[in-house]
Structure 1
Amino acid sequence: MNRLVPVTNTEDVFSEYRNSPIGLLLEYHNLGRAPDVYTAAQLLIGMCMDNRKHLRIPDNFSFIIRTGGANLRYSEFKVSYAIAVGGVKSIALIGHTQCGMVNLVARRNQFIQGLVDSAGWDKEWAEEHFMHFAPMFEIGNETDFVLSEAKRLRLRYPKIQVAPLLYRVEDNLLYLLRET
């Protein structure tokens, strides 16, 4: 079953996200909604650090945490801050296609050699660094990871709306993810 749901009009937005910051995000980015003026963040966006992704959203609309693979496991204090101090009630968790955090082991040699050549690291130190951290940051399949991370965040923050989304670098659009 295809879990990607394109958003080409407002009726495509899942009912639980309509008239919410998640729905607005989809309208701004995919549908070209004119930007509104915000003085406070409406949501937290957790997304990958990949440079190919750029969201079309108004200034001050959201907090954004960018981490490899949209993995917020090691950014929970920042998530908690956005909720407790920033007052956000929604989180958009955005994975993307062609993510570098998928199959990290395939990039092992490139990673190690890159640290040796570009950062001046000792090869053994670079190998140890990769072996220590790669298992923490490997996300497996992008879609499966975003769905599991959304579920984890919902359990951690039960009063917060969490929407798993996927950004397709092929067309620069956001897609809803079916969770069945």
Structure 2
Amino acid sequence: MTRLIEVNEQEDILPKYRNTPIGLLLEYQNLNRTFSTHENPKMLIGMCMDNRKNLWVPDNFAYIIRSGGANLFYHEFQVSYAIGVGGVQHIALIGHSNCEMVQLENRKEKFISGMAANAGWEAETAQMHFENLSPFFEIGDAVDFLVAEAGRLRRRYPKVTVAPLFYNVANNNLAQIEVE
């Protein structure tokens, strides 16, 4: 069973994230914590490329990778770089409500017509492009994907704390995802 845990006060932050960069992220975003000065990144944030999401974090706080659906599979070198060279020990994986990487097939025709109109592609080329690549980027249910992707990253980087978080585009708040 998976549940979303809102953060409306400091005590709502799960104990495993308190006094960590993940807890700080939740405080900055949801609780309007005053920014601290950071000389070096404290964490990596992997989040969707969606334009409706904007995090409230100070400069130099985090490496940020934006990818459709917060899927970091094709960005693994950048993740490894942030860990190996940047020294980060915490990853926040942030998906969101109303993600368009969910049920991609429903946007196939819009994709094809948009590529024809906006990129000058032939409809057949756009269709082949969609059909060849969309399976790599379809995430299914956003929360289920985040739980699975966090599990994959934990297995890949066993000494790194990985927190799946869910961004509500309606109120700009992050919720913690807990699997029971």
Alignment TM-score > 0.5, same fold: yes
- CA distance in 2 between partners of 1:2 and 1:160 (Å): 22
Which residue does 2:5 correspond to in 1? 5
Displacement of 1:178 in angstroms is 1.2
Displacement of 1:124 in angstroms is 1.0
User: Is the counterpart of residue 43 in structure 1 residue 53 in structure 2?
Assistant: no
Which residue does 1:140 correspond to in 2? 140
- Would the alpha carbon gap of residues 2 and 154 (structure 1) be closer, same or farther in structure 2, given more than 3 Å must change? closer
The percent identity for this pair of structures is 56
SS across alignment from 2:74 = coil
Unaligned runs of 5+ in 2: none
Displacement of 1:179 in angstroms is 1.2
SS across alignment from 1:41 = coil
Displacement of 1:153 in angstroms is 0.2
- CA distance in 2 between partners of 1:157 and 1:112 (Å): 38
Does the 8 Å contact 2:2/2:179 carry over to 1?
no
Displacement of 1:171 in angstroms is 0.9
The residue type paired with residue 120 of structure 1 is G
User: Is the counterpart of residue 116 in structure 1 residue 116 in structure 2?
Assistant: yes
Which residue does 1:176 correspond to in 2? 176
Displacement of 1:2 in angstroms is 6.4
SS across alignment from 2:46 = strand
Alignment root-mean-square deviation, CA? 0.8
Q: How many residues are paired up?
A: 180
Deviation digits for residues 29-80 of structure 1, max 9, x if unmatched?
Answer: 1000000001100000000000000000110000000000000010000000
- CA distance in 2 between partners of 1:68 and 1:2 (Å): 22
- CA distance in 2 between partners of 1:68 and 1:132 (Å): 16
- CA distance in 2 between partners of 1:2 and 1:154 (Å): 18
